Amino acid sequence: MEKKTFVTLEQVRDMVKKYPTPFHLYDEKGIRENVRKLKQAFSWNKGYKEYFAIKATPNPYIMQILKEEGVGADCSSYTELLLSEAVGLVGDDIMFSSNVTPREDFELAVKLGSIINFDDITHIDFFEKIADFPETISCRYNPGGDFILENQIMDSPQEAKYGFTREQLREGFLKLKEKGVKHFGIHAFLASNTVTEEYYPALAKILFETAVELKEETGVHIAFINLSGGVGIPYRPEEEPNDILAIGEGVRQAFEEVLVPAGMSDVAIYTELGRFVLAPYGCLVTQAIHEKHTYKEYIGLDACAANLMRPAMYGSYHHITVLGKEDKPLDYKYDVTGGLCENNDKFAINRMLPKIDMGDYLVIHDTGAHGFSMGYNYNGKLRSAEVLLKENGETQLIRRAETPEDYFITLDLENFK
């Protein structure tokens, strides 16, 4: 599939008068349409709810849009909880799926009335010293081994630090039941960025079967199954996007097959999608500021890995469009780089692109999730602004760019005067 930008050169020329590049830009219309489709895919399930993984895009304006669409928040830290509270997402609108959880984080999660998802059996005793057990508690499951789909190893849960073993789930549920917990959830995240419609249905089947067994073994009421994140997006043009309606239908079939005959048709399905919900509806807008001709052809941008870490960290592909040159032949081979003193600061290596001239605006696609949020300050680089392209075509600054004052705010430079 051809990858198109949701913004034109004209619009960007207008935007840069107000917001200098680089900045992350989000598409409100795309976000809303996508979430509506997600909800439609699971509309067969009465209790369905999406808890957006805040870590993907921790911006209150984005969270507000999602909230208006009925989406809650999946938080894993103290500040993510505060962010959630700030936009009025509290109580069972928060799923607290943390790990290696500090005491203060549990305290705040309890204060806000969040649904707590324990990552480990030892957290039960840890938690007991902090607060009374709520009526509803979730536990994260790690089945171990390799997770295989269509004869392919998708991931290795046995190597993952998360979750209870199967035996610990049984033990944990019994212990929590004894402490007065009435309703239970089961959560698992077994593979990331899956570009296949089989992942969620396969995961659902595992969790549904486990739920039936656990109900028999422990006699507890299973209230929800949380399929967590992991539904991916086509970063590459040759990849097919996931059909979320087909995914929802696959989960429905597993539900009918496993839970309904067990008399468990009241189980709610929860998701914690970050990438699927937001990645395609954000992009990094940046300008070419240098060209370099040595052993290779380089284009240097005003953005760097501090603005988008995925290529440097995972070698991830992010599609690049040179605005205004969409129809030009891709007859130049470039490394597209940022200015960090790190040779992995490359947004693209050996990428075929149209001829790039200094001053051209480039759009780096699919940065709406795990983009800005993974940013950092290495080399004293400052975090960029975030801008919202609203449904009515207007733009809104939803986070200003950092200034040197922000960078120095944790230091007392006065001592060096």
Inter-residue contact 299 to 394 (CB < 8 Å): no
Q: Is 341 a catalytic residue?
A: yes
x-or-dash pattern for ligand PLP, window 377-416, by CB under 6 A?
----------------------------------------
- The two counts, helices (H) then strands (E), for the chain are 12, 19
SS3 readout for 167-230: HHHHHHHHHHHHCCCCEEEEECCCCCCECCCCHHHHHHHHHHHHHHHHHHHHCCEEEEEECCCC
> Whole-number minimum distance, CB 195 to ligand PLP, in Å?
12
Structure token pair of residue 91: 């109580």
Among 91, 38, 95, 29, CA closest to 65: 29
How far apart are CB 152 and ligand PLP at their closest, in Å? 18
Taking CB atoms, the residue at the shortest distance from ligand PLP is 229
Which of positions 44-103 make contact with ligand PLP (CB under 6 A)? 53, 55-56, 74, 97
Binding pattern to ligand PLP, positions 25-44, x when CB under 6 A? --------------------
In whole angstroms, what is the distance from residue 382 CA to residue 413 CA?
Answer: 18
Asked if 189 touches ligand PLP (CB under 6 A), the answer is yes
Hunting for tokens 């849960």 — which residue is that?
A: 157
Nearer to ligand PLP, 19 or 106 (CB): 106
Q: Does residue 192 interact with ligand PLP by CB under 6 A?
A: yes
**Contacting range for ligand PLP; rule: CB under 6 A; set: 79-87, 225-233, 238-246, 298-306:** 225-233
Q: Which of 106, 223, 84, 228 is nearest to 162 (CA)?
A: 228
Locus of tokens 């809104």? 396
Smaller CB separation from ligand PLP, 74 or 345: 74
Nearer Cβ to ligand PLP, position 348 or 369? 369
Near ligand PLP in 243-282, by CB under 6 A: 272-276
Q: Judged by CB under 6 A, does residue 369 bind ligand PLP?
A: yes
Half-sphere exposure of 131 (CA within 13 A, CB side): 19
Positions touching ligand PLP (CB under 6 A) are 53, 55-56, 74, 97, 189, 192-193, 228-230, 272-276, 369
Active-site residues, by number, are 341
